[in-house]
Structure 1
Amino acid sequence: MSINPNLVEDIRAASRTMVRELGFMKSTLAGTRYSPSAVHALLEIDMHGAMPAAQLVQALGLEKSSVSRMVGKLIEAGEIEETGAMDDGRFKQLALTTQGKKTIVDIHTHGQQQVISALGQLDADQQLVVAQGLGAYANALKQRNQRPHEAVANPIGIHAGYRPGLVGRIAQMHADFYSRHWHFGPFFESKVAAGVAEFVPRLDQPVNQIWAAVQNGRIVGSIAIDGQDLGNNEAHLRWFILDDGCRGSGIGRELLTKAVEFCDEKGFSATQLWTFKGLDAARRLYESSGFTLAWEEEGTQWGSTVTEQQFTRKV
């Protein structure tokens, strides 16, 4: 693949600016008294709930001795503690203390304000480009550091049907993305959570299905077909979402393909989806799969005023 050298230098320059502006040149990070590696250790432990030190070594890409010293300091500072695993008390895991959970809240608040203040300089389309571009670039950076057997060992798999934590994870992914990029609030998250919670018990019906994209045991994307709520032998495509780090990886297209193939197999006369103007990358995917814009008008069904759109795919 040919890569423009000027593009390489532009990305390197932007990366250096980001490192400086986000505070990584300082001895402490995110408004804490801890080093960047210690802050990232707390974030990893928070994301996993609890994890062994060996897994933390792998996640941070640091030497075992460095992580061991850092963990010792965080334990001494009262941020984390060692706990026994539920199935084997001899197997030690690292977990946040009450103090550590408060520190994590402060770290997230600090980070969110950094992003919000920067995105405030951009319009909605530019914000979306930044989110998708950074996600794709971050994913490419991870892949280029993987040896071939590691890339095969940890792919993103697509799984049909219910998985533990599915309802909460779908609501979280929607809330994370749409609060950052569109300032949707608790009304939107509650509506998503309620909708998924109502739908999941109906998965025993053959016209309903849901798919989850899963990487390393973590749900990183979803899509669903609800074959009951519209009637008229029409399917409703719902809850199509990806983690930012997976955007640009092709997983979104795979999920959409699964959903469309399911609709064709079940013989639906049409598939409908509702979204809103501004989600350009998703719209391109929809249109490439045969969806066309049926109508659009201003509405508030997501808790904010947006230009709502309905796309239809007919057989």
Structure 2
Amino acid sequence: MPDANIIEQIRASSRLMVRELGFMNSTLAATQYSPSAVHSLLEIDSRQAVTAAQLVQVLGLEKSSVSRMLSKLIQAGELQEVPSPQDARVKQLQLTEQGKDSVAKINHYATQQVIHALEQLSDAQQHTVARGIAAYAQALKTCRDGEPQPDSRPFTLHRGYLPGMIGRIAEMHASYYSRHYHFGHFFESKVATGVAEFSARLQQPCNGIWLVLRAGRIVGSVAIDGEDLGNNEAHLRWFILDDGCRGSGIGRELLSEALAFCDRQGFSAVQLWTFSGLDAARRLYESFGFTLTQEWQGEQWGSAMLEQQFTRRHPSSER
């Protein structure tokens, strides 16, 4: 049984957060929509397309309540129903262009809310808050779901090499990008070769790799290469999560660990290369201070894409 004082502290803090985040109001995040509608838009955005039944499970609400709320969002022009690519009889929900604009405004509002609160805390306190909220939120979800299943066990972070890491990171990249962007063997080979070469340099203090583990299985990764760019700049590489990890907060925790390492190492900047269309990842990068610095048409991933470079500069290096 947890300590009674801890229980009361968490209850009091939870009530305060509910009030300060605006959940006592009839609308949320400077929109005209209820909290459940706002959360629905965000969940549909993060998953690209979901069914109403899947949304019922995610939100933990009654089917009838979700159905009425979704009907209102469709009538308002925020959502549209489209046939599932796998089964045309199944209808999926997607954001309209209006819905995408609404989600962008919600994300901006929420990001600024978090930034203003974190500015009141030290760097160490910020990391403590991020880890604590993620762990507590996952614990609450586990209670709602019942007995933990293999795919809902707590995540752990591991820094450094693990046997099978190279193949697993390549597998996660290949599986995700082949499904969504039709990348093939060229891309998988490029990832595997790069991770293998980098692994031989992990003994250098300017390099690091962090792995997300669940039940002993690698389900996420990110690396910081402090050597390949030179000029006292770090290269953020191989940031990936299994589908089952998305929305859990572990991606933010993973990225937070890697960037805290960069700040301790004193890198003047952190660079990453990606391509247009990975909107959820872009929002996460931007929340950590990355900005888009270059865009160009290229084929380094094996297909013609609008490639992008994002840069996060160390505060002490900014003029």
TM-score, L = length of structure 2: 0.59
SS at match of 1:87: coil
SS at match of 2:88: strand
1:304 aligned residue: 313
Could you tell me which of 162, 182, 186 is aligned with 2:171?
162
2:35 aligned residue: 36
1:6 aligned residue: 5
Could you tell me which of 183, 187, 190 is aligned with 1:201?
190
2:114 aligned residue: 115
Measure the CA separation in 2 of the matches of 1:7 and 1:103.
38
Measure the CA separation in 2 of the matches of 1:40 and 1:202.
35
Which runs of 4 or more aligned residues in structure 1 lie more than 4 Å from their structure 2 counterparts after TM superposition? 153-160, 164-168, 197-200, 208-215, 223-226, 236-244
SS at match of 1:89: coil
Contact 1:52 1:93 in 2 (8 A): yes
How many Å apart are 1:124 and its aligned residue? 1.4
Instruction: Point out where structure 1 has 5 or more consecutive residues left out of the alignment.
Output: 169-196, 231-235, 253-273, 279-295, 308-315
- What do residues 215-249 of structure 1 show as CA deviations (whole Å, max 9, x unaligned)? 9xxx96314699x979xxxxx996578877338x9
Aligned AA (1:90) = R
SS at match of 1:3: coil
Measure the CA separation in 1 of the matches of 2:86 and 2:188.
32
Are 2:250 and 1:246 aligned? yes
- What do residues 84-131 of structure 1 show as CA deviations (whole Å, max 9, x unaligned)? 112322210000011000000010011011111111111211111111
1:64 aligned residue: 63
SS at match of 1:163: helix
Instruction: Point out where structure 2 has 5 or more consecutive residues left out of the alignment.
Output: 156-164, 178-185, 200-208, 230-234, 271-311
Contact 1:160 1:211 in 2 (8 A): no
SS at match of 2:70: helix
- What do residues 10-62 of structure 1 show as CA deviations (whole Å, max 9, x unaligned)? 11111100000000000000101010001111111001000011000000000
Contact 1:45 1:95 in 2 (8 A): yes
Q: Which moved more, 1:158-167 or 1:15-24?
A: 158-167
1:75 aligned residue: 74
Over the matched positions of the two proteins, sequence identity in percent amounts to 47
1:152 aligned residue: 150
How many Å apart are 1:154 and its aligned residue? 4.4
Aligned AA (2:268) = T
Give the root-mean-square deviation of aligned CA atoms: 4.3
User: For the structure 1 residues 237 and 127, does the alpha-carbon distance in structure 2 shift closer, same or farther, using more than 3 Å as the test?
Assistant: closer
2:262 aligned residue: 276
SS at match of 1:93: strand
User: For the structure 1 residues 80 and 276, does the alpha-carbon distance in structure 2 shift closer, same or farther, using more than 3 Å as the test?
Assistant: same
1:97 aligned residue: 96
1:48 aligned residue: 47
Contact 1:276 1:306 in 2 (8 A): no
Measure the CA separation in 2 of the matches of 1:124 and 1:63.
40
2:160 aligned residue: none
Measure the CA separation in 1 of the matches of 2:314 and 2:24.
41
Q: Which moved more, 1:201-210 or 1:71-80?
A: 201-210
User: For the structure 1 residues 33 and 214, does the alpha-carbon distance in structure 2 shift closer, same or farther, using more than 3 Å as the test?
Assistant: farther
User: For the structure 1 residues 33 and 15, does the alpha-carbon distance in structure 2 shift closer, same or farther, using more than 3 Å as the test?
Assistant: same
Q: Which moved more, 1:203-212 or 1:136-145?
A: 203-212
2:284 aligned residue: none
1:174 aligned residue: none
Contact 2:171 2:188 in 1 (8 A): no
SS at match of 1:275: helix
Contact 1:222 1:240 in 2 (8 A): yes
